[in-house]
């Protein structure tokens, strides 16, 4: 029996994915739950387990190609069976997807179980697709090669040959099929065209959504982190003995949480349908990580309940998983406030784009030295941390943001307040 493995409607606003790589080739024998390949959706990469045992009859998508909901990714059957190609006419209904299954990589590959609310929703991609008997596209190998060279999708061509077979004439002159010619130069010189896909495509969609819905305003401020600098230098050595890399970020996260508790408007989101502001009573802090593929934002869940060292450990683990593209979709969901550190590369101030639907995002600049005069006579050096806070003006106002920043700055300038903070 032929099984066509379609890319299903998994919810979460996901309409397509990108084939990262196949681990099998046509003609290979596979068992149910064997890994077939890897697919990327919404910045997360997961393995695709086989929905059935049998022979790989056809792989419909190459590595790097995009697959949309309802399209057949791979066809599995018995050796010698004919691989039938399904032309998708509609997306698979969400009702056909079991509620909240989650893929557990440990143990039996492809094992599904009921997941709690915050667990990944991406794993319904691994759902076993039903076998569909549809009409085969009739065309000779020579015609198929010609269509490929001309950039023509055979599923869009009506064959005029016997039994609807597509002929060379259908491709050459019998159709109005347009072939898109991509120029490698413009009026001024040569150019390179790179497809918008993967993480960059997800970022682009997210940014457009944010700027089209939230009303962005940016507040700029500074903190004298000279005392925090010395505290971190001292504690860094202790942390290294425990195998922990201690940066300034865990201290800043704790200071931010203190500010969010006093000014909950910055730890909220807007429910546009019900016209309500949703104030979150938990503090899930997203940390923007710069990777080779683009910016990825894993989330530290319930950061208010974790110590400085616990947060430092989690940052290190999540950042490495992000760079290795091993994050689960659940690792990037549930954020209530985001911090991005432009100063780790270089930069003083910025106008960050809110990680919608969150209400605000804090951009950290590069800590730098500044000469200061005390008592009109004594000159000393301060360590200055620039900060840029973008917020949704629909949810809160500039005065509340200034007070929030005051709370954050007080704790950064007096680290004892961070250490004494109780949840």
Q: Which two tokens stand for residue 136?
A: 């085969």
How many angstroms separate the CA atoms of 423 and 418, rounded?
A: 11
| DSSP state at residue 273 | T
DSSP lists the bridge partners of residue 301 as none
How many angstroms separate the CA atoms of 410 and 263, rounded?
A: 15
- What contacts 146, CB < 8 A, 6 or more positions away? 168, 171
Q: Which two tokens stand for residue 215?
A: 């009303």
- What contacts 389, CB < 8 A, 6 or more positions away? 218, 219, 220, 221, 360, 361, 362, 363, 401, 404, 405
- Of 219, 368, 380, 393, catalytic: 393
H-helix or E-strand spanning residue 76: strand 72-77
Half-sphere exposure of 279 (CA within 13 A, CB side): 8
- What contacts 41, CB < 8 A, 6 or more positions away? 10, 14, 16, 17, 18, 122, 125, 329
How many angstroms separate the CA atoms of 212 and 292, rounded?
A: 27
Rg (Cα) of the chain, in Å, rounded? Answer: 27
Active site residue 393: yes
Burial class (CB in 10 A: 0-12, 13-18, 19+), 307: exposed
163-167: list long-range contacts, CB under 8 Å, 24+ apart.
Answer: 163/138, 164/138, 165/138, 165/139, 165/140, 166/137, 166/138, 166/139, 167/143
Are 150 and 168 in contact by the 8 Å Cβ rule? The answer is no
Strands 360-364 and 337-341 turn out to be parallel
Strands 72-77 and 3-6 turn out to be antiparallel
Are 213 and 385 in contact by the 8 Å Cβ rule? The answer is no
- For the annotated catalytic residues, the residue numbers are 393
């Amino acid at each position: 029996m032929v099984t066509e493995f379609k890319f299903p409607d998994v919810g979460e606003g996901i309409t397509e994915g990108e084939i990262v790589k196949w681990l099998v080739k046509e003609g290979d024998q596979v068992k149910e739950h064997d890994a077939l390949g890897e697919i990327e959706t919404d910045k997360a990469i997961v393995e695709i387990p086989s929905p059935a045992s049998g022979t790989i009859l056809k792989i419909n998508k190459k590595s790097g190609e995009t697959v949309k909901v309802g399209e057949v990714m791979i066809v599995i059957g018995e050796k010698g069976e004919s691989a039938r190609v399904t032309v998708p006419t509609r997306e698979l209904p969400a009702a056909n997807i079991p509620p909240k299954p989650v893929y557990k990589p440990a143990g039996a590959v492809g094992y599904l179980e009921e997941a709690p609310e915050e667990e990944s929703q991406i794993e319904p991609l691994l759902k076993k697709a039903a076998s569909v008997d549809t009409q085969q596209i009739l065309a000779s190998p020579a015609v198929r090669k010609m269509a490929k060279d001309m950039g023509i999708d055979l599923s869009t061509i009506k064959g005029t040959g016997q039994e609807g077979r597509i002929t060379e004439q259908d491709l050459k002159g019998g159709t109005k099929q347009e072939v898109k010619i991509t120029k490698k130069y413009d009026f001024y010189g040569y150019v390179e065209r790179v497809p918008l896909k993967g993480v960059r495509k997800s970022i682009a969609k997210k940014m457009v959504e944010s700027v089209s819905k939230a009303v962005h305003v940016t507040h700029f401020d500074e903190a004298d982190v000279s005392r925090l600098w010395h505290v971190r230098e001292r504690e860094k050595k202790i942390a290294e003995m425990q195998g922990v890399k201690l940066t300034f970020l865990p201290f800043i996260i704790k200071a931010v949480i203190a500010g969010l508790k006093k000014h909950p408007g910055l730890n909220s989101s807007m429910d546009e349908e019900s016209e309500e502001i949703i104030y979150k009573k938990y503090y899930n802090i997203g940390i923007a990580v710069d990777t080779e593929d683009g910016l990825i934002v894993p989330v530290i869940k319930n950061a208010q309940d974790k110590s400085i060292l616990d947060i430092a450990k989690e940052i290190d683990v999540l950042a490495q998983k992000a760079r290795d593209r091993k994050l689960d979709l659940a690792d990037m969901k549930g954020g209530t406030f985001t911090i991005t550190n432009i100063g780790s590369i270089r930069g003083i101030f910025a106008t960050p784009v809110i990680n919608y639907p969150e209400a605000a995002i804090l951009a950290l600049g590069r800590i730098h030295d500044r000469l200061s005069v005390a008592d009109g006579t004594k000159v000393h050096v301060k360590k200055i941390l620039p900060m840029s806070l973008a917020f949704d003006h629909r949810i809160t106002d500039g005065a509340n943001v200034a007070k929030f920043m005051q709370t954050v700055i007080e704790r950064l300038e007096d680290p004892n307040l961070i250490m004494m903070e109780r949840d």
